[in-house]
Amino acid sequence: MKFLLSQGALLNASTLVSLVAGSPLEANKDLVERGTPQAPNGYAPAAVDCPSTRPSIRQGDTLSQNEVNWLPLRRNATIPAMQDLLRRIDIPDFSSDEYMNQVRNNVSALPNIGLAISGGGYRAMLNGAGALAAWDNRTTNATGQGQLGGLLQASTYLSALSGGGWLVGSLYMNNFTTVETTMNQQLPEPNNIWQTQNSILAGPPDGPSFFDYYSNVFGSIEGKDVNYDTSITDYWGRMLSFQLVNAVDGGPAYTFSSIANDAEFSVGNAPLPLIVADGRTPGETLIPTNTTIFEFSPWELGSFDQSLSGFVPLEFTGSNFSAGQLPQNESCVRGFDNAGFVMGTSSSLFNQFLLQLDRAPQAIPDFLVSAVGSLLTGLGEDNNDIADWTPNPFYGYNPSANRGANSRRLTLVDGGEDLQNVPYHPLIQNQRNVDVIFSIDSSADTTSSWPDGASIVATYQRSLDPIANGTSFPAVPDNKTFINLGLQDRPTFFGCDSSNYTEPVPLVVYIPNHPYSYMSNLSTFALSVNISERNAVINNGYNVVTMGNGTRDTEWPICMGCAILQRSMERTSTPIPEACNQCFARYCWDGTVNSTAPAPYEPTFVGQAINVADSAGNAAGLRGSGAVALTVLVGFWIVLL
């Protein structure tokens, strides 16, 4: 059951306790129109007039025409940000301005950057938020000495899954706002998202009253349930939406595909967000490493993997596609791709509750254990512990290779369940030509919820399987070597020596979660995090990617600059600056392996620990509205499902 450890998704006493820990809600506030609620009928998908060219499934052996059209805009927009960042980084004995002027008119010479944010619940969302804040040139002081602000603006792609998907989805649903703006509650009032002190099961403090919250969640799903199979992920996604999309009504009409029409994104002023989920056939519980990996982009849902090799226009999911076409007698449906449902799909860990329930400790009152147990067992029997994307858009499509071609159902689960908790997959498609991937791993692999490289090991192992055709990934050692060599204790580069590979592989900059200013190893199932702790984890994440603003290694920003440029310099036959060679000697894994069993890994602070006065949030007992919430929730589920 190793996969359970990928995100640290083990059910234990503190899990259920944090599930129900919440505080009373404030009064209702007015709703503000904002962003793009493009669904025709709120959360319920609805038939609309079809476009003149009826939507269809496209083959998955190329990039979409939308992406091909968008890329020149984006690549162009990354140039000033990259130039500015490299100028500030100031690699010794190297003129970055001269270099950038040489490559700026030649897209095949220009560095192509991808960012990847792992899963792991709020821990991953907040650690990832610190990383994005540090890489965002709009963050206060992020463009100062030793800082990395601008990397986000210099990147072409931004992939995420599960808790990382909450972060990315949330920012894009809010006009690609900054982490700082969100933390400081400076979004248009009263949309105070990220109020993590309130349990997801209790609703947001600035949102509707407790019972209105539940009425909204269940009411919106009732509307969808009339014509569609709903699943536990619909409830999960609607609840997440109050934290991530809109605190007032959870933005029932906000679709993920609406990002495609966003004024800033469509002109190339933001990277392409890619959210990962795994395919899981009904009845299957464990996810093999050769599972089909799906990606959501603002344009499409589908997979490049040979086991599907197809994409559906995301906007028209919910329509009855058949053999790759939408027959004339079937309507075009829109509104299925609710943003919260997409984020919920990528984070649908509920089947792991089911698998772990027998280990539930004594602290949980028996009535809850048996109520939740019978609920989840029922769900398991109905295969309802997944995200239901039925009707399967890929029904009858590509039957010779598509594993699910005969199924009317398409069921997706948490993108980290195949152990690949860092979403490298979209970024290692050879056609995307990504040079360097800056990846944040917030997995909980060790007993104290720190990463040990298990996720990146899984990606490497998959790259050796035939299903990996069309992707390439550098070699990485086993997780024992990670600990023995300390590769998980600080950033590590993989694939530095591209001559070691016959196909182009990206340079992978692996940045593990680590305590600099806060013990950021929160439980995966912490469904509430009080605000001071939230801010401390974000601050720590900022320090993780800047190595404490360069205090752990004053040359770290230079090394980041070298990583940005390395593949590009190889292509342009530019001599590698000496400072970069020193960086690579320090940060590149050199192929050494030491697979003896290591002592348990317990990291120590790099910097000055933040003292979070009221960090007792996660230890709170069964109390207040939270306890009511769980009881009400269980009651509703039993009635509804």
Ligand X SMILES: *[C@@H]1O[C@H](CO)[C@@H](O)[C@H](O)[C@H]1NC(C)=O
Q: Which residues bind ligand X (CB under 6 A)?
A: 2, 34, 47, 61, 72-73, 76, 80-81, 106, 108-109, 137-138, 140-141, 143, 150, 153, 175, 227, 264, 288, 290, 320, 330-331, 333, 391, 452, 454, 466, 469-470, 474-475, 479-480, 483-484, 497, 500, 517, 539, 542-543, 548-549, 551, 571-572, 590-591, 594, 596, 598, 607
User: Between 241 and 398, whose beta carbon lies closer to ligand X?
Assistant: 398
Question: Residue 104 in contact with residue 518, Cβ under 8 Å?
Answer: no
Nearer to ligand X, 131 or 201 (CB): 131
Could you give the CA distance from residue 38 to residue 245 in angstroms, rounded to a whole number?
A: 14
Least distance (Å) between residue 14 CB and ligand X: 21
State which residue, 355 or 454, has the beta carbon closest to ligand X: 454
Residue 556's φ and ψ, nearest 5 degrees, are -55, -45
Quote the least distance from Cβ 219 to ligand X, whole Å: 21
Nearer to ligand X, 241 or 540 (CB): 540
Q: Which of 81, 115, 31, 7 is nearest to 349 (CA)?
A: 7
Of 91 and 270, which CB lies nearer to ligand X in the complex structure?
270
Residues 6+ positions from 624 with CB-CB distance below 8 Å: 21, 22, 23, 24
CB of 155 to ligand X, least distance (A): 11
Question: Pick from 434, 384, 406: which is nearest to 221 by CA?
Answer: 384
List, in sequence order, every beta strand (DSSP E) within 137-219.
157-160
Task: State in angstroms the smallest separation of the CB of 86 from ligand X.
Answer: 12
- DSSP code for 583: H
Mark out the alpha helices in 382-478 (DSSP H runs).
454-463
Shortest Å, Cβ 574 to ligand X: 10
Least distance (Å) between residue 206 CB and ligand X:
18
Q: Which CB, 212 or 553, lies closer to ligand X?
A: 553
Q: Where are the beta strands (DSSP E) in 417-571?
A: 436-441, 492-494, 507-512
Phi, psi of 326 (to 5 degrees): -105, 105
Cα 378 to chain center, whole Å?
29
Structure tokens, 528: 């509430």
- What three-state secondary structure class fits 346? helix
Least distance between ligand X and beta carbon 632 (Å): 31
Q: Which long-range contacts (CB under 8 A, 24 or more apart) does 558-563 make?
A: 558/89, 558/90, 558/91, 558/92, 558/583, 559/583, 559/586, 559/587, 560/89, 560/148, 560/151, 560/438, 560/509, 561/85, 561/86, 561/89, 561/91, 561/96, 562/91, 563/436, 563/438, 563/493, 563/507, 563/509
CB of 199 to ligand X, least distance (A): 27
Nearer to ligand X by Cβ, of 22 and 491: the residue is 491
Query: Cis before residue 391, ω within 30 degrees of 0?
Result: yes
C-beta closer to ligand X: residue 18 or 521: 521
* Closer to ligand X by Cβ: residue 275 or 456: 456
DSSP states of 209-254: -HHHHHHHHHHHHHHHHTTS---HHHHHHHHHHHHHT-TTT--TT-
For residues 531, 184, 134, 612, the Cα torsion angle rounded to the nearest 10 degrees is -30
Residue 25 or 244: which CB sits closer to ligand X?
A: 244
In the complex, least distance from residue 208 CB atom to ligand X, rounded to whole angstroms = 23
Residues 6+ apart with CB under 8 A from 65: none
Residues with Cβ within 8 Å of residue 71, at least 6 apart in sequence: 63, 156
- Closer of 108 and 406 to ligand X (Cβ): 108
